[in-house]
């Protein structure tokens, strides 16, 4: 069968990370966690996930910087990223998109919406980067 997609959750709030992990495991994803941007980068380059779910507010480098670093690296420039931000913060939303996030989810959110958005960014990216060789 298909190998489940692996997601990396980047959040320093254990309660939030725990909740995200439970919901996403329940939806059939494999889940890894990092508590900071630096830790996330180490994990990404060691073992590339299929998507990144990261909070804007992180200790050390913030979510935007993490996003930009991921986008600058050839290995990860198309990695799907879902950003989590505080409710109704439009400037955070714009900054997230400018940093290279594919989508954005405001806290608090419904578990179903999280699952839907993750599925969505994974599907979009698969279409954009075909795995089949181009016929000449």
Give the three-class secondary structure for 52.
strand
Per-domain residue ranges of the chain? 6-128
8 within 8 A of 44, measured Cβ to Cβ: yes
For the whole model, what pTM was predicted? 0.88
DSSP 64-89: HHHHHHHHHSTTTTT--EEEEEETT-
Question: Could you read off the pLDDT tens digit of each residue along the chain, which spans 136 residues?
Answer: 678 999 999 999 999 999 999 999 999 999 999 999 999 999 999 999 999 999 999 999 999 999 999 999 999 999 999 999 876 777 888 888 999 999 999 988 999 999 999 999 999 866 554 455 555 5
Among 55, 31, 34, 32, residue whose Cα is nearest residue 106: 55
Which CATH code of 3.40.50.2300, 3.40.50.10490, 3.40.50.300, 1.10.569.10 fits the domain covering 6-128? 3.40.50.2300
């Amino acid at each position: 069968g298909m190998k489940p997609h692996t997601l990396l959750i980047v959040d320093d709030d254990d309660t939030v990370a725990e909740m995200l992990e439970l919901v996403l495991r329940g939806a059939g994803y494999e889940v890894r966690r990092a508590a900071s941007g630096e830790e996330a980068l180490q994990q990404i380059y060691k073992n590339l996930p299929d998507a990144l779910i990261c909070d804007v507010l992180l200790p050390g480098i913030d979510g935007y910087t993490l996003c930009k670093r991921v986008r600058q690296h050839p290995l990860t420039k198309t990695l799907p990223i879902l950003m989590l931000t505080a409710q109704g913060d439009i400037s955070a939303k714009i900054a997230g998109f400018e940093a290279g996030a594919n989508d954005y989810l405001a806290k608090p959110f419904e578990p179903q919406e999280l699952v839907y958005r993750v599925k969505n960014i994974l599907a979009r990216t698969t279409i954009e980067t075909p795995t089949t060789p181009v016929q000449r």
